């Protein structure tokens, strides 16, 4: 591992040395080539078709509004949790609410009459 790193460093050092000693006309040609490449890339970006670029468009929109979108997602999560909690506790009694107890075939008195339980045990 160390040997590989050393080897890479050596390559970088030699490349740097070579770059420093490039002839001015070579440097000029490289600069021009780079400029052309950048121009071509910029042109390709601006000519990207609308449909194909939808994802890229959404991606760039997300990157630009990352902070506010994350906040919106967080608030949505808080709201969702709140609604679910309300349903599961509080008012969300479902078929177990007092209304269903009162509507049960057995009246509430049956649940509370100790004599009924004594009698059941005797049966």
Partner 1 sequence: MVKTAIAAGLLLLAMTAVAETESQEPSWAQLNESQRKVLAPLAQEWDILRPWQRERMLDIARDYPKMTPEQQQRVQRRLTHWSRMTPYERENARKKYQAYQNLSPEKKAALRKKWEEYQRLPEAKREALRRENPDIDTGLEDLD
**Is residue 112 within the footprint of partner 1 (CB under 8 A)?**
yes
How far is it, in rounded angstroms, from Cα 17 to Cα 15?
5
**Is residue 59 within the footprint of partner 1 (CB under 8 A)?**
no
Residue reference for tokens 């000693």: 21
Shortest distance (Å) from residue 83 CB to partner 1: 10
**Is residue 63 within the footprint of partner 1 (CB under 8 A)?**
no
How far is it, in rounded angstroms, from Cα 106 to Cα 99?
13
**Is residue 102 within the footprint of partner 1 (CB under 8 A)?**
yes
- Structural tokens at position 26: 């070579």
- Helix residue ranges, H only, the chain: 2-20, 24-46, 54-64, 66-88, 98-102, 108-112, 114-122
Of 4, 20, 25, 105, the residue at the interface with partner 1 (CB under 8 A) is 105
**Is residue 79 within the footprint of partner 1 (CB under 8 A)?**
yes
Q: Site residues (CB under 8 A) for partner 1?
A: 67, 70-71, 74-75, 78-79, 82, 91, 93, 96-123
């Amino acid at each position: 591992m160390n040997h590989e790193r050393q080897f890479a460093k050596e390559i970088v050092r030699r490349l740097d040395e070579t770059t420093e000693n490039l002839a001015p006309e070579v440097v000029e040609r490289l600069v021009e080539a780079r400029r052309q490449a950048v121009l071509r890339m910029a042109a390709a970006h601006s000519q990207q078709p609308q449909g194909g670029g939808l994802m890229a468009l959404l991606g760039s929109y997300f990157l630009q509004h990352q902070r506010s979108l994350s906040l919106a997602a967080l608030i949505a999560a808080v709201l969702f949790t709140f609604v679910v909690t309300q349903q599961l506790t509080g008012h969300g009694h479902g078929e177990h609410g007092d209304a269903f107890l009162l509507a049960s075939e057995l009246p509430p008195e049956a649940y509370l009459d100790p004599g009924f339980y004594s009698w059941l045990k005797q049966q």
